[in-house]
Amino acid sequence: MVVVVQQPYGVYGYRFQDSPQLPLYQLFATGYQEVTDPEYYWDGMKRIDGPLYLFQYTISGFGHFRLGGETREIHPGIAFLTEIPGNHHYCLPETSDHWTFYFVLIRQQHLQGLWRELLQTVGATPSFEPTSAVVRCLQSLYADARSNRIQNSLQASALVYRLMMELLQSNTAQRQVKANWPQPIQQAAAFMEGEFHRLQSLDDVAAAAGLSKYYFTRMFTQTTGSSPMDYVTKLRIEKAVELLRGSTLSVEEIAYTVGFASGSYFSKVFRSRVGFPPADFRLAKELPSIDRLQFD
- The model's pLDDT over 258-271, given as tens digits with 9 standing for 90+, comes to 999 999 999 999 98
- Specify if 141 maps to a domain: yes
The pLDDT value recorded for residue 22 is: 85
Domain that holds residue 17: 10-176
The pLDDT value recorded for residue 21 is: 78
Q: What is the CATH number of the domain that holds 48?
A: 2.60.120.280
- Specify if 264 maps to a domain: yes
169 with 196, same domain?
no
pLDDT band at residue 2 using 50, 70 and 90 as cut-offs: very low
Residue 3 has pLDDT above 50, yes or no: no
64 with 97, same domain?
yes
- Specify if 140 maps to a domain: yes
112 with 154, same domain?
yes
What is the pTM (predicted TM-score) of this model? 0.65
Residue 187 has pLDDT above 80, yes or no: yes
pLDDT band at residue 39 using 50, 70 and 90 as cut-offs: very high
Q: Final residue of a domain: which of 140, 158, 176?
A: 176
- Specify if 290 maps to a domain: no
Encode burial over 144-159: b for 16+ CB neighbours within 10 A, e otherwise. Answer: bbbeeebeebeebbeb
43 with 124, same domain?
yes
- Specify if 139 maps to a domain: yes
95 with 151, same domain?
yes
**Per-residue pLDDT tens digits for 204-244:** 899 988 999 899 998 888 887 788 998 899 999 989 988 98
187 with 94, same domain?
no
DSSP string for 215-275: HHHHHHHHHHSS-HHHHHHHHHHHHHHHHHHH----HHHHHHHHT-S-HHHHHHHHHHHHS
- Specify if 57 maps to a domain: yes
The pLDDT value recorded for residue 287 is: 55
The pLDDT value recorded for residue 102 is: 97
Q: Final residue of a domain: which of 131, 155, 176?
A: 176
Residue 289 has pLDDT above 60, yes or no: no
**290 phi, psi to nearest 5 deg:** -120, 125
155 with 216, same domain?
no
Average pLDDT over residues 14-22: 81
- Specify if 294 maps to a domain: no
65: helix, strand or coil: strand
How many domains is the chain partitioned into structurally?
2
User: Alpha-carbon distance 6 to 80, whole Å?
Assistant: 28
108 with 66, same domain?
yes
Residue 282 has pLDDT above 70, yes or no: yes
Q: Final residue of a domain: which of 108, 142, 176?
A: 176
Contact partners, residue 14, CB within 8 Å, separation at least 6 = 26, 27, 28, 29, 150, 156
122 with 266, same domain?
no
**Per-residue pLDDT tens digits for 43-88:** 999 988 889 999 999 999 999 999 988 899 999 999 999 999 999 9
171 with 25, same domain?
yes
The pLDDT value recorded for residue 122 is: 83
Structure-model confidence comparison of residues 252 and 296, the more confident one: 252
**Per-residue pLDDT tens digits for 131-174:** 889 999 999 999 999 999 999 999 999 999 999 999 988 866 55
pLDDT band at residue 292 using 50, 70 and 90 as cut-offs: low
**Per-residue pLDDT tens digits for 89-139:** 999 999 999 999 999 999 999 999 999 988 888 889 988 889 889 999 999
28 with 84, same domain?
yes
- Specify if 59 maps to a domain: yes
User: Alpha-carbon distance 223 to 226, whole Å?
Assistant: 8
DSSP designation for 127? B
188 with 172, same domain?
no
Q: What is the CATH number of the domain that holds 221?
A: 1.10.10.60
The pLDDT value recorded for residue 180 is: 75
